[in-house]
Amino acid sequence: MKFLDQVKIYIKAGNGGDGSPSFRREKYVEYGGPDGGDGGKGGSIILKAEENLNTLIDYRYQQHHKAQRGENGAGQNRTGKGGDDSFLKVPLGTQVFEEDNKTLLFDFNKRGEEFVVAIGGKGGLGNTRFKSSTNRAPRKFTKGGIGEEFTVWLQLKTIADIGIIGLPNAGKSSLLAAITNANPKIANYRFTTLNPNLGVASYDDKEITIADIPGLVEGAHEGVGLGIQFLKHIERCKSLLHLIDITNLDLNESYEQVKNELKSYSSKLIDKKELVVLNKIDLVDEDTVKDVIDYFSKDKSCEIMTMTTLEKDSISKIKAKLLSYVS
């Protein structure tokens, strides 16, 4: 399944049915009078959050959505059938914006939440509604109301307990695959991950949702590399796991580069609780690892851990630590 986190769609609620101008015409009934029924209400367009979805790809191929029109009223005071509401399923974490893609209309944060984005038109009135003591044979009736129509933007921001961030090829996808049942693409080249990947880690009978965010390079907040399109997914994460390749020549530079991109995108991202994990320690000797930790931990307020994705003990320690970050 392809990943899509932004899409523009057109929605049109159903029009209301027209009222009826009918009159009674039974052969043996005197003083027939009006018997026109009201029109039915038009169907509305309703967005509903679905937990099992993680992409907006369905709206890439179907961008026009219309609800059912209400039926017209009929004689014998029969009201027209109302149009069925149209339910559009969206992933949890979806935001609905107006056509300018800036004005927020609704934000789906809970499973099963519903938002009526376009209201169906009201049904018209039949001529029976206008009967009075002074007007016993009204021919007046009203047309059904016009259903609302809009063009809106849907933006998906991944909701996760932990977001894994870092430079390309730091081992983020390998970590996600090791601690969850996710199967992200893993290869020894930059930008292997092109879309955010979600996984669920289980530890101590509790579950943690983890998101693997594509690598951030210098200038990402301005669109360099995979750009700002994936920085927005970090906003929803409760805490961050900053993964750093210990074999990098300058760990401080690697760390600050990612932090600067987060800060340039949104100052709120810097305030999130952060766990720094130095990866690939199996590629250097123990003395080097100790020296790196001592040097790197200076003037850092975040916690620092080391790991290799090949050791189960390291994975268990990471899971336990992440659980403490979200509990």
Tell me: the pLDDT tens digits for 94-113?
A: 999 999 988 999 999 888 99
Would you state the pLDDT for residue 199? Answer: 78
Stretch 5-15: mean pLDDT: 93
pLDDT digits (tens, 9 = 90+) for 37-66: 999 999 999 999 998 887 888 898 899 999
CA distance 165 to 170: 9
CA distance 203 to 288: 31
Structure tokens at 73: 């009223």
DSSP state of 132: -
Would you state the pLDDT for residue 323? Answer: 84
Q: Could you please report the per-residue DSSP string of 289-300?
A: HHHHHHHHTTT-
- Which residues, 6 or more positions from 291, have their beta carbon under 8 angstroms from its beta carbon? none
Residue 121 has pLDDT above 70, yes or no: yes
Alpha carbon dihedral 52, 109, 174, 270, in 10-degree steps, equals 170
CA 141 to chain centre: 44
- Model confidence at 14, pLDDT cuts 50, 70, 90, reads very high
Q: What is the pTM of this model?
A: 0.72
CA distance 247 to 241: 18
- Model confidence at 120, pLDDT cuts 50, 70, 90, reads very high
Stretch 275-280: mean pLDDT: 84
Residue 283 has pLDDT above 50, yes or no: yes
CB contact at 8 A, 46 and 120: no
Please, what is the average pLDDT of the chain?
83
Q: How many CB atoms lie within 10 A of CB 138?
A: 18
- Helix, strand or coil for residue 289? helix
Question: Which residues does residue 211 pair with via DSSP β-bridges, in sequence order?
Answer: 163, 198
Structure tokens at 229: 């399109």
Residue 296 has pLDDT above 90, yes or no: no
- Which residues, 6 or more positions from 28, have their beta carbon under 8 angstroms from its beta carbon? none
Q: Most confidently modeled of 73-82, 238-247, 273-282?
A: 73-82
CA distance 6 to 99: 13
Burial class (CB in 10 A: 0-12, 13-18, 19+), 188: exposed
Lowest mean per-residue pLDDT among 126-130, 164-168, 220-224: 220-224
Stretch 288-294: mean pLDDT: 79
- For tokens 């101590």, name the residue: 204
Stretch 154-175: mean pLDDT: 82
